[in-house]
Each structure stands twice: as C-alpha cells, then as structure tokens.
Structure 1
C-alpha cells in the first residue's frame, strides 16, 4: 500500500511539473496548439497502459461510443481551459478553482444520475463555493478569462467523470485513456486549421516537457492504483497544490495573499471531504485520471 501511495504522490508531482512547463510558454502559442502537441506526446503512454489481449483499435472503440465521445469532448475542453488558466493565473489560484471538480461531481450526480446526497456533502458544496468567493473576491479585484477557464476545466472534468460512471466499470483502460488523448487532438486539430504557429526550438522543448511528463504521470497513477486502494491514492491529488505554490514562487514569482490562501484552504478542504465521503468517486480512480 505504501508503494501505491508513494507512486500517487510521484504521479501528481509529475502532473504539476507538466503544468509548469505549459505555463512557461507564457501564451506564446495558442492554448489549443499546446494541447494538440501535448496530447500527441501523451500517446507515448499507450504501450504501458495497454494490457495483454488489448487491441490497438480499442483506443477509439468503446462499449458505449456516445459516452466515449462525451469524455473526449470534455477532456478537450478541459485541457484547453487548463492551459488558459495556467497561462493567466498563478498556479495555486488556478489549481484551487480546478479543484472544484469533486464539488461539481456532487451536483451533477444529483442532476444527471439522480443520486441521493446527504447534508454533509451539500455542506461541502456550499463551503467550496464560499471558498471560491474568498479567492475571487468579486468587486474587490479584477477577474479575467483565467478564472473562468479554471472553473470550466473543473466542470469539464466533472462531466468526464459522470460519463465514465454511466459507461460502466468494464470499459477498457485503453479506451478510457484514448478518449482523453484522441479527443484533445481532434478538437485542437480542428482549431489549428484556422491558425497555426510553428513552434520554435525552445517552445518544442517546453511542449515536450508538458506532454511527456503528463504521459509519465498517467503511467505512475495507473501503477499506484494497482498497488493501493483507490481511496488511498485519490487524496494524493491535493499534493499538487503544494507543488503549485512552490513552483509558482520559484519559477514565476507568484505571490498569495492571506485571503486567497484562506479561500484555497476552504476549497481544498471541501473537495477532499467530498472525495472521502463519496465512494463512487473513488471507483473512477481505479480506472484512470481523465483531466
């Protein structure tokens, strides 16, 4: 179990560093272009995710293709929104808003799946949105596209998770991972038809770090869920916030004021409580991280 939890921490460290690479582009490439190349490089994880007996065509063939398409679209939208958020906001602030994902899952579980949600989880939802108000402080600070993008990213991740629940527990891991990568490539590729900027050598290096580290993180997370229960691995996601604060301070001179730090703590606490309380959420981690 210890090895699984350790691998979880390593996976989310790799995810956070991957995000730092794409933030280092500083908007010099369109977000959809960064996502396209990042997803293309992310396909390098497929040989490690593929299990004996899996066929390569199962990357795009799912038992419920409609839900595969929903996850593919949600992944594409979420990935582009994440790049916009990391470009425009301090890393910790972007992560805090993206971590509304489990709160959105709770709401969608009621609206879409008609699940019963008790007062404790509703309290966590309210607390999460209170934390958002503390972070954003509307009327007291300028809000921009980055804040909207971060919230959209969290919502897209929640839609992907709900679609995964509906598709059932027997979907091949190859199809689950393929939906995220292929969907992001197709959606971004269409946008690239309108405008394309050939990356410079330095930009290629940053894109490589972004895509390859995300692929490595996905493989590490898969290994983690094989060696430890999902409900032990899932909370390690919140270690990304520590990496966000550290990387933001060291690499991008990000600074957090006290109200923002308090709001972030409220959002993280509400999200972590939701993950712990919601057994069905943790089942998703047994398959694959889909943001």
Structure 2
C-alpha cells in the first residue's frame, strides 16, 4: 500500500510538471490510460473467457469513477500545490468508509467514525470553504469523492475477477471514454522530454493502482482507506522538492490533522485484527 500511494503521487507530480509547460490535463489523463494500456496489455493474461467482464456494469462503473477522479485531480494540480491538492483529495477515505458501510455492509465502529470526522475537519482546513476556496480545490474535492467511490467499487467487484483483468479493463475503457477529449486537447508537438514525463505519469499511476487492486482482493476497504493517508507524506515532500511548494500554516495544520487521524485509524485496524 505504501508503494502504491507513492507511485501514484510520483505520477501526479509528473502530470503537474506537464501542465506547467502548457500540456492540457485532459490530454495527460488520456495518455495516462492509453499508454498504460498499450504497455500492460501484453502482460495482462487476457483470455477469451474474460470477454463477459466487458459487459459487466460494475466494470464500466469502476472505469468511469477512476477516469473522472484522475481527470479532476490533474485539473486541480494545474493551479494548486501538490500537498494542498492531496489534502482536499482526502475527502476520499471518508466517502469510502461511508459507502463501505452502506453498500458492502462492513462494520461501523465509533472510534473509526470519530477519527474520520476529525480527518474531515482537517480537509476543511486545507480546502478553506468560504474563505480562500478556489476552483482548483473544488476539483480536488470532487476527485476525492470519485476515488473514494472507486475504492469501494473495487472492493465490491474484486472477488469476481483477476487483479490484472480489473486493471487492464479500467485502463482500456478509460482510454476509450477520454479519447475524444484527449485528442482534441493534444499539443502541436511532443518532445522526448514531454513523452518521458507522460510515461512516468502513466506507469506510476498504473502500477500503483495494480497494487491497490491486488490488496483490495483480500483486505476490507475500511482498512485500506486509512492507508491512503500515506500519500500526504509523498505529496508534501515531492511538492517541496520539485516545485518549492509549502502549505500555508492553516493548510499545514489541516494536513497534520488528516495524517494523524489516518495513522490512528491504521493503528485501530491493526489492533482489531
């Protein structure tokens, strides 16, 4: 899970670099799905018996959720610092927890609910609704809502299919759904440097999500959700090293609250097991 979250952040940092040189976030999102599809299809082990999966509404729902989540967070990263974007994105574990209870009938505990409520207060400090909120932060929150839904959808459908099949299905379907928008936003020229960043963005996200899908096959989403908070460390460090971005003191307090509640949730999950 730690490797998964770090790889996803690395991919998003590469995407932010691309946005700073004028590449559209929608084009980056499409190339992320398309390039990862091309690279990973030969290793996906696809069989004729996998065909029914493409007719499963749950498979399409997962693809739509991850496609929307990635498009939104890449749009947010275009204007917002990496750490702040991921702080707002952490509405996702709260959404995942609520949906896991409603949809998957997973167990509710007072302590975990309290900690997620504390995490939500941290998200509010980062987003600053009503006093400093921006359109970019709005996209980051929406990305978190979509990703939290995606985590639960993955847990719901994971027992039916192989992890590699789930990964390749979301990549191929995402590439198809985004193709009209991505091609319309394509740049006039792509240098080797830009292609390299696109490759890092695509493969970091793809491999990170493969780890997530594999973990979801055996681990309840209510336990997976707190582990997603490890992204905050990578996002803060890489945001500073690559872009010299450092959260203001209100956002920093919010990030600290979010991370502390995540660590406490993880400790509760381990003691419960």
Q: What's the TM-score once normalised by structure 1's chain length?
A: 0.77
The reply to whether residue 55 of structure 1 matches residue 50 of structure 2 is: no
2:6 corresponds to: 13
Bigger proportion of residues as helix: 2
Contact 1:75 / 1:183 at 8 angstroms: preserved in 2?
no
> How is 1:197-236 mapped onto 2 (pairs within 5 angstroms)?
197-201=187-191, 202-218=193-209, 221=211
2:98 corresponds to: 107
2:35 corresponds to: 41
2:15 corresponds to: 22
Contact 1:91 / 1:248 at 8 angstroms: preserved in 2?
yes
2:84 corresponds to: 93
Q: CA–CA distance in 1 between the matches of 2:28 and 2:141? A: 19
Mark the CA change 1:97 to 1:275 in structure 2 (over 3 Å): closer, same or farther: farther
Contact 2:226 / 2:265 at 8 angstroms: preserved in 1?
no
Q: How far does residue 114 in structure 1 lie from its aligned partner after superposition? A: 5.1
Mark the CA change 1:161 to 1:14 in structure 2 (over 3 Å): closer, same or farther: closer
The reply to whether residue 71 of structure 1 matches residue 55 of structure 2 is: no
Q: CA–CA distance in 2 between the matches of 1:154 and 1:85? A: 11
Mark the CA change 1:255 to 1:145 in structure 2 (over 3 Å): closer, same or farther: same
Secondary structure of the residue that 1:25 maps to in structure 2?
helix
Q: CA–CA distance in 1 between the matches of 2:266 and 2:33? A: 27
Deviations 1:183-204 (A, max 9, x none): 3212211323654434421432
Contact 2:44 / 2:168 at 8 angstroms: preserved in 1?
no
Contact 1:35 / 1:79 at 8 angstroms: preserved in 2?
yes
Deviations 1:9-55 (A, max 9, x none): 444333222211100012522222111111122222344454xxx51
The reply to whether residue 267 of structure 1 matches residue 261 of structure 2 is: no
Mark the CA change 1:120 to 1:23 in structure 2 (over 3 Å): closer, same or farther: same
Match of 2:25 among 31, 56, 71: 31
1:162 corresponds to: 152
Mark the CA change 1:182 to 1:272 in structure 2 (over 3 Å): closer, same or farther: farther
Q: CA–CA distance in 1 between the matches of 2:158 and 2:181? A: 31
Q: Which runs of 5+ in 2 are unaligned?
A: none
Mark the CA change 1:13 to 1:167 in structure 2 (over 3 Å): closer, same or farther: closer
Q: How far does residue 78 in structure 1 lie from its aligned partner after superposition? A: 0.6
Contact 1:23 / 1:87 at 8 angstroms: preserved in 2?
yes
Q: What's the TM-score once normalised by structure 2's chain length?
A: 0.81
Q: How far does residue 153 in structure 1 lie from its aligned partner after superposition? A: 1.3
Match of 2:161 among 167, 171, 189: 171
Mark the CA change 1:111 to 1:235 in structure 2 (over 3 Å): closer, same or farther: closer
Deviations 1:265-285 (A, max 9, x none): 222333454556569xx9xxx
Q: CA–CA distance in 1 between the matches of 2:157 and 2:213? A: 23
Deviations 1:226-266 (A, max 9, x none): xxx85898866444322222221122120222221111122
Q: CA–CA distance in 2 between the matches of 1:114 and 1:217? A: 27
Q: CA–CA distance in 2 between the matches of 1:12 and 1:110? A: 23
1:285 corresponds to: none
Deviations 1:132-182 (A, max 9, x none): 2222233432x2222111111111112222223333513222331023212
